[in-house]
Amino acid sequence: MRIAVIQLAYGDDESFEARVDRVAGLVAAHSGHDLVVLPELWGATGFDYTRWAGQAQPLDGPWARAMADAARAAGVVLHAGSFVERRPESGVDGHDLANTSLLYSADGHLLATYRKIHRFGFGAGEPKLMEAGDEVVVTGIPLSGGGSVLTGLSTCYDLRFPELYRRQVAAGAELFVIPAAWSAARVGHWVLLGRARAVENQAVVVQCNTAGSHGGYDMGGHSQVVSATGEVLAEAAGDEHGRAVEQ
């Protein structure tokens, strides 16, 4: 399985539209892979909460269409990271926003949708503005040589909750894909916990973090792909990078 992880860097000065165009180009550069992965909330930014409501879109909005087009143009399965979804109606906490990940097939069709279950913010940010997801998502990622790999989807702060990954393994997952906007201040936990999730579940872990600085936060980078035995197959430093691995 050939996997490309795009550790995207961005700042506060780049517009949403310009970043979407730039990311589409980065996806195109990784044609030939079975799976390309992008970070969490890379369009609306992970920590500038003031932008979220204004950049929220429905599941069939311009951001989603652009990512479907990018997957189709590159001929890759694309985990598009996550975006701020404008839900059709408010949930139990009274919010109509969600942190939502979309997975596209190589022909641009939507394979899976995952809404982040564990919201980060300690009373601010996601808990204050977003509705939590409630569905454990495991889906097959088709391989170019035939067959598929059952894959569990999660996002960033979810990584701190091992019981979620046990539920994914119980549903047949052999691979975990985890996009994130994880800050530099706690990047040691990001690296350690990813390796722990791999070893304790005997599953491959693909982690795609954000680089750069935005909203007053330095981002941690250090994306990695970890084998089911805990071996680091590929890792990035703290800057923008695309890393590929064959497993």
Residues with catalytic roles: 40, 116, 156
What is the C-alpha to C-alpha distance for residues 63 and 84, in angstroms, rounded to an integer?
10
Give the SS3 label for residue 77: strand
The 3-state secondary structure of 143-189 reads: CCCCCEEEEEECCHHHHHCHHHHHHHHHCCCCEEEEECCCEHHHHHH
- Amino acid letter at 146? G
Q: Which token pair is 158?
A: 């979810």
